[in-house]
Structure 1
Amino acid sequence: MIVTEEVENPAIASIASMIRLRHAARELVGFPNSPARQVVSGSHKSRIRGRGMDFEEVRLYQAGDDIRTIDWRVTARSQNTYTKIFTEEREKPLLVITDLRATMFFGSQRLKSVAASEVSAALAWAALSSNDRLGGIVFGQEKTANIKPRRSHHSVLKYIQSLNTFSAELLKPREDYYTMEDILEETQRFVMPDSTLFIVSDFLDFDEQSYHLLFKLVRHSKVYFCRVFDPIERELPPPGLYAVTDGNYRALLNTNGKTLRASYRSTYEEHVKYLQKISEKLRVGLISLDCSMDIMQVLGSAFGKHCRQKK
């Protein structure tokens, strides 16, 4: 049962805040098929709307074919009459895979786990608004929550409840049971062919084995990475001593060393370049979300009204 009255803790993804994203998500009018080029890399097959059919191929025109399906461009180029072949449109579920493991419990202004939960909730509401079936998996430190794809408010609310529960469990640090490979393997078992898939994570442990698993996923689904990061992961704060805590223990972070600062930034940049290379090679959409930014502003840049106007 969904509880909407709660005492908001900034370390936990608020149910009320995630429910409020429903109205803003309606502005993502290009969702999920019109990503902005400057934000999302890769290209994706779009649905043929208005016919309830998916385009499959062209072939030579045969007696009895509907003349409205003649492909005039191919016909003119080949000097033979070709017709477009459509297959009945299959339902294409939209799945949101959210990583709420221990590395997501980090943030200088807002926790990555909270930002990731809000992004996931916004994507879920956008799916419902575009009349898609919404489902997905939330990965915690030790458990997962699987939500079967359904076109209903209940499905979105169930997902939001799982995001709230799993983000709260991060207040009690445990050793992660799941790796990125586990996440991708479980997703592969869960996903149906021809789905649209959003993976929300920091992708810090994405490696070569993860790449091979992702390769299998993109063969049958349209995949987007929503990479959540904190500004401090990109560059250390100004030289000095800073108190840091995981909620239970405190320590001092010394950011004075020039070599340390340069190495830190280089490691971050190499990781980002690696993910960009993977996304381009496998035609995976890559959306980078700075925790200090408004998540709807970032998603609006990818799927908002101006994107449809540019098409």
Structure 2
Amino acid sequence: MIPKEIFQKIRRIQIRSSHQVDELLAGSWNSAFRGRGIEFEEVRPYQIGDDVRSIDWNVTARSDQPFVKLFREEREMSVILLVDMSRSVEFGTVSQTKRELIAELGATIAMSATRNNDKIGLTLFTDEIEKAIPPRKGSRHVLRIIRELLYCQPVGTGTSIRNAVEHLNRTCKRRSVVFLVSDFFDSGFESVLKVARRRHDIVPITVSDPGERALPKVGLVRLRDSETGEQVLVDTSSRKNRKQFSELFARKEEQRLTMFRRLQMEPIQLTTGEDIVDPLRRYFHAREQR
């Protein structure tokens, strides 16, 4: 039985996300992901009027006559939320934490998928797989996803995107749209992500907080790594220290964007305290144009 106060919070985020779906995503969902729900069915001999781009050259070479590939459109699409629940997403210096932002985002995506009769699944990870919910339909299923995003108590503290993507590769055999949501405070996962994108349509979504980009000038502070527990004393009154802090974040961000470009992925970048609608709108409209 869900406690009343928890149910009320779930209900609030459901209502807020519902408005965002009405405002933004429902009309663009199918257009943005058009052509992803296509599966190969069979080959048949070429007929006059067939598109030459559909010729299967391997079969044609073996049979000495042209054959074309036939495809069928799937009636539904599977969407997977692959979500980082490590300790670092509990951080927030404005009106919300990164985890609260992730919950709002996940609810919006889940409701968009459900309204378009698509299945939605959820995998939560830290440095291990915390929970995996298979793709299903229905409003009750969406409520479960929102509840897990808000109130799952992870066992792990660190981040292993490699483990999460390897789990996806093992368990998700059907081509899916995968929203990989994380602050990406991790490395060494590019090779498995490259393998996964051959089968799935992977959309990276990075979440950050303004406090990670710049140090406030407040004198001596003790900073603690939320995932490792390591602590360091920093003099924030030093302009040099503040500059080095900002440059380090900018350098890591640029390295991450360079990696996504190599993988031909276009990330969505979200920041706590800011509306998620505009970044999503820009991304969806860009996909529609393509």
TM range (shorter): 0.7 to 0.9
Aligned residue runs from structure 1 range 1-311, under 5 A: 5-6=5-6, 14-20=9-15, 21-26=17-22, 27-28=24-25, 29-31=27-29, 34=32, 46-47=34-35, 61-62=46-47, 67=49, 70-71=50-51, 85-90=69-74, 91-109=76-94, 110-139=96-125, 144-166=130-152, 169=153, 176=157, 179-205=160-186, 207-208=187-188, 210-238=189-217, 240=219, 254-303=235-284
Q: Deviations over 1:78-97 (max 9, x none)?
A: xxxx9974312244310001
More helix by share: 2
Higher relative contact order (CA 8 A, sep 6+): 1
- Could you tell me the TM-score, scaled by structure 1's length? 0.73
Structure-2 separation of matches of 1:147 and 1:25: 22
Work out the number of aligned pairs and report it. 270
1:254–1:114 distance in 2 versus 1, CA, 3 Å = farther
- Could you tell me the TM-score, scaled by structure 2's length? 0.77
1:192–1:153 distance in 2 versus 1, CA, 3 Å = farther
Structure-2 separation of matches of 1:7 and 1:196: 29
Percent identity between matched residues is 26
Q: Deviations over 1:115-156 (max 9, x none)?
A: 112111111111112221100212358762211111222221
1:279–1:177 distance in 2 versus 1, CA, 3 Å = closer
Tell me the CA shift for residue 282 of structure 1: 1.2
Tell me if structure 2 keeps the 8 A contact 1:30–1:308: no
Q: Deviations over 1:247-291 (max 9, x none)?
A: xxxx98641222222221221112111111121111223001011
Q: Deviations over 1:24-81 (max 9, x none)?
A: 22321322662xxxxxxxxxx84178xxx55899998426xxx4xx338999xxxxxx
Q: Secondary structure at the match of 1:176?
A: coil
Structure 1 unmatched ranges of 5 or more: 9-13, 35-44, 76-81
1:286–1:307 distance in 2 versus 1, CA, 3 Å = closer
Tell me if structure 2 keeps the 8 A contact 1:55–1:84: no
Structure-2 separation of matches of 1:299 and 1:83: 41
Q: Secondary structure at the match of 1:31?
A: helix
Q: Secondary structure at the match of 2:204?
A: strand
Tell me if structure 2 keeps the 8 A contact 1:255–1:261: yes
